[in-house]
Structure 1
Amino acid sequence: MASPYRFVFASDSFQGTLSSSQTASLLQNAARDQFADCQCVGIPMADGGEGTAEALVAACGGELRGVDVHDPLGRPIRASYGLLGDRRAVIEMAAASGQQLLMPEERDPLMTSSYGTGELISDALAQGCDDVTIALGGSAANDGGMGCMRALGVRFLDENGAELAGVGRDLALVRSIDLSLFRLYVGETRFRVMCDVRSPLLGEEGATLGYAASRGATGEVARELERGMARYADVLDAVFGRASGVSVRDQPGSGAAGGLGAACAAFLSARLDGGIESILELVRFDDILATADLCVTGEGRLDGHTGVGKVMSGVAAACARQGVPCVAIVGEVERGDLPPVVRSLTAVVPTVESSEAGEEALDHAEELYVRAARRLFSLVAIGVGLGA
């Protein structure tokens, strides 16, 4: 392999210590200590949760746009989403409709709404975006996405033809849906959803019974919401099921974010994808890997959860498809059975031994990471693991 080397850095954050961007900077310094003329490409990473919009803006050279919207209880707030260029946008629904916006005593899924998320989408459409990605997670609402769709022009009507507000308590009251204004809003826009939660809309693992307790619903309130969600699903199937031939109830991920996954699939014809897969597509990761000699990924802890929609698993899989060696620097490795993703890695470099992990390791996370990065590139310099 001839110099100059080309290295790609795509690590998750080490929660509470190092950001994805910081790991890329530290890796670049270590690489250039060994290969002064190497090319380094750092790609800030996230898995679809909090920080996804910011990471994608950094990776794609876009910008964060602030918008006046409404929080889950209808109060005015300022929220941001990402404009990525090429008429693309990424929206974290938690920015406008997340639980972190409410005090614990304010959580009431009968009264909360995802309307603010729809306002962010509406603004992106007004900016000319025709490719919109919505990251689900952390919702304060259990409204089946009604609030979000209302902000996009959908009218939910009760048995008397009166328009409903689109909060959780309205689920059972929906009898028909007016889409005439909605179609003017969305046009031919392509939508996709980052949705690592594969829960169904209904049932013990569904939007309500599986998650409503964390949103403030217990006992009879949860049962009321579940009955309402079942009635709402009937209406969605009546409106959309005939054309697609698939019930909204049966789509994995339809229960994500209090049923917003179902609304995105039904109203927006959105693809429900895993978070990291969507991010790798948005940053055009395969193109970045095309001329790479080595990719370095990683996360704070390599354990049994690493293979479930996480940054490291997605990056390793992409490298395996392209035949690019992939090494992971991780904070620590859990003892016991590890996920299959480990088999696709060229090597794993822990920053600490498991027995040494603890508060002291967290306090010295950067120093430990630098040592691991230097060890890695010392091995690269003598051709270990890269086929040199």
Structure 2
Amino acid sequence: MLNRVAVAPSGFKESLSAEAAAEAIAEGVRRAVPDAEVDLIPLVDGGEGTAAALAASTGGRLVPRFATGPVGEPLETHFALLGSPASEMTDTAVVEMAAVAGLSLVPAALRDPGATTTYGVGELIRAALDTGVGRILIGCGDSGTSDGGAGALQALGARLLDAAGRELPVGGRELTRLDRIDPSGLDPRLKDVELLVACNPFNVLCGERGVARVFGPQKGATPEQVEELSTALENWAYVLTRDLPDVPAGTDLRYGPGTGASGGLGAGLAALGARLLPRFEVLLDHLDLDARLARADLVITAEGALDHQTPRGKVPAEVARRAKLHGRPVLALAGTLGEGAHEVPGVDAYTGILPAPMALAEAMLRASELLTDATERALRMIVLGARVTAGSRPAERQTTERQTAERQTAERQTAGTQRPSSVR
């Protein structure tokens, strides 16, 4: 019986927040299993919705601000000040890079990752410093940039100079001309605060699996721009390592885990002394996730696409991994199913949410409805399977009992024929 269902989805990029996805799935569960207890656990991975989700779960609040958006225009954004029910989050601000430099903030006609900037991320970090917190957590994900965090460093006071000593404009492609960094103007308060970056450790800055090659095309880069950005980020890593004193000894800004997070923002922040941490270690544990999954009869997770990238640090893979530690079955729902969808460890069953071919724009517009309907269809199949299994048990039990009785009778008859006669 499905008495308890844990619903632990990611958001659907540019379509549904994690909270909206969880509500849509819960509605589908209730249609199919009206009496089920549904535990909503919307999960964030550092991308869209991270600041709001952490503020809500810790009793904190969002702080509105205006900052520079990814295409250079000012926009209304926010960071979070967390509450302290778990005490470890006390005195912590959360800067969500997607809220000021995310892909959803880049108009389709302006999607040029060589030109977009993380300048607003640096502005939000400075705003968080103004509150006097001792820790700033930067959530990386859903970025629309590929500037290696150069814009963020510029906003924090670093000067990026070409060979003639002129300051570089913002944008990743400009880093091909970077000759040196003058860190003398960096905000001195950075020395007194703990910087933590919640990132996907599989994302690295440079090389064949570097961020420009893996994610550049998703952000609008042509093949030529991908190579241009790859070269620019190689130069960025070299100059960062040489010129910034706070790069920890032995830190590899080119290939280190998480250095490619959010278009290389991870590398830029690491050069300021930030610690790059696997995002789920930072973001999920305060939700008591493991205990909540352990109580469920079924775990449902979801994301926009289920494919070969899912095991590389995506929410459904992490949920499935944790659920399997408690022996819980996992159903995954996805907007699209790609190559490798059947190979995600820990996922017992999966399905796409589209009932028929449709345009991407329509699918994104109807995402909540489609997710609810797909959940209902999947749950009805699960319930039907459970009823079929339950219905077969009496017959199986009768057969087993009959076979047992026949065996016992045969044994008694055999024993009777072998018993010796009494001799008087």
TM-score, structure 1 as length reference: 0.73
Please give the secondary structure, in 2, of the residue aligned with 1:244.
coil
More displaced 10-residue stretch of structure 1: 8-17 or 92-101? 8-17
* Structure 1 residue 285: Cα displacement: 1.9
Which residue, 5, 8, 20 being the options, matches 2:6? 8
1-structure distance, mates of 2:205, 2:22: 35
Residues 86-135 of structure 1, C-alpha deviation per residue, up to 9 Å, x if partnerless?
34444332322234444455455565431101112222333326141322
How far 1:371 sits from its partner (Å)? 4.7
The equivalent of 1:258 in structure 2 is 263
Aligned to 2:329: 326
Q: Distance in 2 between the 1:73 and 1:380 partners? A: 53
Q: Kindly name which structure, 1 or 2, has the bigger radius of gyration based on alpha carbons.
A: 2
- Aligned amino acid, residue 22 of structure 1: E
For residue 150 of structure 2, what is the aligned residue in structure 1?
146
Identify if the C-alpha distance between structure 1 residues 182 and 161 changes in structure 2 by more than 3 Å, giving closer, same or farther: farther
What are the within-5 Å matches in structure 2 for residues 169-208 of structure 1?
169=174, 172-178=177-183, 181-185=186-190, 187-195=192-200, 198-201=203-206, 203-208=207-212
2:204–2:257 CA contact under 8 A, matched in 1? yes
Partners of 2:154 and 2:77 lie apart in 1 by 18
TM-score, length-scaled by structure 2 = 0.68
The residue type equivalent to 1:245 in the other structure is: G
- CA deviation string 1:292-350 (max 9, x = no partner): 243522326655444333322111111223x25233153699699654545x35x5375
1:128-147 deviations in Å (ceiling 9; x for gaps): 2614132233323x432121
The 1:101–1:338 alpha-carbon spacing in structure 2 relative to 1, beyond 3 Å, is closer
Does the C-alpha gap of structure 1 residues 163 and 43 become closer, same or farther in structure 2, counting only changes over 3 Å?
same
8 Å contact kept, 2:78–2:99: yes
Structure 2 residue aligned with 1:81: 79
Q: Assess, with a 3 A threshold, how the Cα gap between structure 1 residues 213 and 383 changes in structure 2: closer, same or farther.
A: closer
Structure 1 gaps of 5+ residues are: none
Instruction: Check the 8 A contact 1:159/1:174 in 2, yes or no.
Output: yes
Q: How does 1:23-42 map to 2 (within 5 A)?
A: 23=24, 25-26=26-27, 29=30, 33-34=34-35, 40-42=38-40
User: Partners of 2:377 and 2:73 in 1: how far apart?
Assistant: 48
Change (3 A) 1:163 1:184: farther
Amino acid at match of 1:119: E
Q: Is the 8 A contact 1:63 1:84 kept in 2?
A: yes
Once the two structures are superposed, residues 260-316 of structure 1 have per-residue CA deviations (whole angstroms, 9 ceiling, x without a partner) of 12112221422142x5554323534235446x2435223266554443333221111
CA distance in 1, matches of 2:53, 2:382: 25
Which amino acid counterpart does residue 375 of structure 2 have in structure 1? Y
Identity, in percent, stands at 30
Residue ranges of structure 2 left out of the alignment (5+ in a row): 85-90, 391-424
Question: Could you list the per-position Cα deviations for residues 220-252 of structure 1 after superposition, in whole angstroms to 9, with x for gaps in the alignment?
Answer: 776665554333322222235984223311214
RMSD: 4.4
Kindly indicate whether the alpha-carbon contact (under 8 Å) linking 1:115 and 1:148 is maintained by their aligned counterparts in 2: yes
| CA 182–367 in structure 1, closer or farther in 2 if over 3 Å, else same | same
Residue pairs, 1:181-330, within 5 angstroms: 181-185=186-190, 187-195=192-200, 198-201=203-206, 203-208=207-212, 226-238=230-242, 239=244, 243-273=248-278, 275-276=279-280, 278-289=282-293, 292-299=295-302, 303-321=307-325, 323-328=326-331, 330=333
1:70, CA displacement in angstroms?
Answer: 1.0
Q: How many residues are aligned here?
A: 370
The equivalent of 1:348 in structure 2 is 349
User: Counterpart of 2:99 in 1: which secondary structure?
Assistant: helix
